[in-house]
Structure 1
Amino acid sequence: MIQTERPYVLSIAGLDPSAGAGILADVKVFELNQVYGLSVCTALTMQHDADFRALEWVPLPTILDQCQPLFERYPIEIVKVGLIESFAVLDQLTGWLLQQNPGIQIIWDPILKASAGFTFHAESPYVALETVLRRLRILTPNAWEAQQLTGIDSPLEAAKVLSQYCLVYLKGGHVEPVEETVTDYLLWEGEVLAAYPAPHLPQGEKHGSGCVLSSALAAGLAKGQSISETGRSTRQYMNRYLASTPYLLGFHTL
């Protein structure tokens, strides 16, 4: 017998010992948002909130071996994917997930480099990208990631292109120059469905903020919220998280 009071959400991402990012941060978000968090490790990282030193990738077969018993035991409808070794691995992983549950909703946070500056992928992002995007429910790039994934200078125009394949939640907090208001956008089929403005917080830079946001989106979907409700509740959660401390590590509160 398993608990059925809360929906299950799986995070497939890296292990950050500081717990500001990756699967440890994701499970914090899941618990606070009243969904049951499961996790699978894709990489062992050597880092803290201000310094990324090294990582060791977990091989794809080992990732799938971690996933298999979870899918055998729990009804998993929502998966958040974070740090992943390559786009080829992401292609194989998302294909495997759909084999386990053809109706599964996958959220991908396309982590191309760490907030401390470490770049994870030297390969072209175009490898297998279109196939992967069609399998996603939501893609959550920041401005730089949207540019890198498309080769388009304007983050919003890049997000419009990406949204031809899946929903895109474009994070506005990494845009230069910094303005008084930061705006996130939800896009689908080249159109902006919703905009979520928030005041820029001078102390709001947080290690792992992208992980937190994508996990909050996953939790909202798992609870049956509409896309617009999920986007709005996620932005509200992020506002509280970013304002929670003046440090790189934030607190999770409702």
Structure 2
Amino acid sequence: MNRIRTKVLSIAGFDPSAGAGVLADIKTFETHKVYGLGVVSSLTVQNEKEFLSNQWIPIDHIIQQINVLLKEYKVEFVKIGLIESYDVLLNLTEVLKGHNPKIKIVWDPVIKASAGFTFHEDQSQEKISEVCSALYMITPNWQEIQFLVPGKDPMDAGKYLSGFCNVYLKGGHNSKDEARDYLFSTDGKVYPFKPKTIVPNPKHGSGCVLSSAITANLSKGYPLQKASLRAKDYVTKFLASNQTLLGNHKG
């Protein structure tokens, strides 16, 4: 029996290698058997090893992409990746909630490309608090959370930001406890996630894949802790899929 799939939206950058950004999100959604809709926030010139440039899509063009989709489809979960600024992100959350006040937004705060290109310099604590208050969840890695909350230990920063939204702290850059992730929920609880195996093969776009896997699982009705654990297991398989920088998506 054919079943109509849940619609999930990604707003992210276009990576021609399809390892990261909106194309990686759509692959992840498809593997999770949800229907992925895509809105492009930037055009990058890159492959899995080299990043040359980035061109931001004007916000009115991003909004037009969102509007034409959400007037047609019911979307309850959105994953946002590479975005130009906190102000643009806040504007987009308002647009999304104008279509559906109960919509849940997961933001993967891409600060720096794996090839070394830096996208953001703004570290306004007032602005990041305002941003997080408009979101359901953020999924920073060890380095990104230190950018968002300078001067704090990553664990302390996770606890602090969970006062505004749920926080999934990715542990790939955690030298003390490799690959251990932490979920900080808004009810004050902390859940550690240890991978079933340590995979020595890094992958371009693994952070994008994790956040889109969480979003896909949430859209299928899994509670936050279960959705996060399933996403962690999915990314572990993604990392182990081959020895190159471009992973394979497997259901």
Structure 1 residue corresponding to 2:224, chosen from 227, 235, 247: 227
Structure 1 Cα separation of the partners of residues 19 and 152 of structure 2 = 30
- Residue 126 of structure 1 and its aligned partner are, at CA, apart by 3.1
**Residue equivalent to 2:190:** 193
- Indicate if the aligned counterparts of 1:161 and 1:190 stay in contact, CA closer than 8 A: no
Structure 2: gaps of 5 or more residues = none
- Indicate if the aligned counterparts of 1:82 and 1:108 stay in contact, CA closer than 8 A: yes
Measured at CA, do residues 190 and 78 of structure 1 come closer, stay the same or move farther in structure 2, by a change above 3 Å? closer
**Residue equivalent to 1:23:** 22
Structure 1: gaps of 5 or more residues = none
Please give the TM-score of this superposition, normalised by the length of structure 1: 0.94
**Residue equivalent to 2:246:** 249
Structure 2 Cα separation of the partners of residues 246 and 192 of structure 1 = 36
Matches within 5 A, 1:71-220: 71-126=70-125, 128-176=127-175, 179=177, 181-189=178-186, 191-198=188-195, 199-203=197-201, 205-220=202-217
SS in 2 for 1:182: coil
The RMSD of aligned alpha carbons is 1.5
Runs of 4+ residues over 4 Å off in structure 1: none
Letter of the structure 2 residue corresponding to residue 183 of structure 1: R
CA offsets per residue over residues 89-129 of structure 1, 9 Å max, x none?
A: 11111111111110000000000110111000122343622
- Indicate if the aligned counterparts of 2:174 and 2:180 stay in contact, CA closer than 8 A: no
Letter of the structure 1 residue corresponding to residue 247 of structure 2: G
SS in 2 for 1:41: strand
CA offsets per residue over residues 48-97 of structure 1, 9 Å max, x none?
A: 00111001100000000111110110001110000001111111111111
- Indicate if the aligned counterparts of 2:123 and 2:149 stay in contact, CA closer than 8 A: no
Please give the TM-score of this superposition, normalised by the length of structure 2: 0.95
Letter of the structure 2 residue corresponding to residue 196 of structure 1: F
Measured at CA, do residues 161 and 92 of structure 1 come closer, stay the same or move farther in structure 2, by a change above 3 Å? same
- Indicate if the aligned counterparts of 1:88 and 1:127 stay in contact, CA closer than 8 A: no
Aligned length: 249
Structure 2 Cα separation of the partners of residues 56 and 112 of structure 1 = 15
CA offsets per residue over residues 186-209 of structure 1, 9 Å max, x none?
A: 112474432110233222x11111
